[in-house]
Amino acid sequence: TIDPEFASTFSSFDFRAVTKQMHGWFVKLIQDAPPPGSIRALHFGMCEIIDGCELYVAGSNVFDVEDPEWACRTDWAPEGRYAKIDAFSDLWSAVMDKTDEDDAWQAALAAAIVSLSEFLRLSDIRILLKHRELKFSTGFDDGDLYILK
């Protein structure tokens, strides 16, 4: 459940705009540096930065639903892998102003899960990736891993 302390902040997050930004970033990334055929999974990680958090993507040649450590194995880390979507840091900062870091990372992660799920559902990602069957995940570095698709 969303803490009432930051529910209004979370409700102002523009999921549609973030999903559109993700699509533009990812299309350019795939065009500039397509993942090699050996990549089996893409991890959309979240990491803390000085003024909030940031989304990035990395690919792995392995995927194991029973062992989340696969996401730590980076076999594809292209230049431009950091998305530079300010909305995640803006949400982080707004929640931090009202509560604490635990709530901030939970809000940012929830926003990432919803945005990425929508991005994967709506985008032409399978065409971009030449119809390859890949697994997708997200999560904060040193945190839990969430399988998206």
In three-state secondary structure terms, 138 is strand
Is the pLDDT assigned to residue 148 strictly greater than 60?
yes
Tokens representing 83 are: 């998305």
- Residues 112 and 140: their CA atoms lie apart, in Å, by 10
3-62 pLDDT, tens digit per residue, is 666 667 777 889 999 999 999 999 899 999 999 989 999 999 999 898 889 999 999 999
70-122 pLDDT, tens digit per residue, is 999 999 999 999 999 999 989 888 888 877 778 888 889 999 999 999 998 88
CA 99 to each of CA 8, 83, 103, 113, 129: distance values in angstroms, whole numbers, following the listed order: 13, 26, 7, 21, 40
Contact criterion met (CB below 8 Å) for 91 and 9: yes
133-146 pLDDT, tens digit per residue, is 889 999 999 888 99
* Residue 100 main-chain phi, psi, to 5 deg: -140, 180
What confidence tier does 125 reach under pLDDT thresholds 50, 70, 90? confident
Between CA 88 and CA 94, with CA 91 as vertex, the angle to 5 degrees is 150
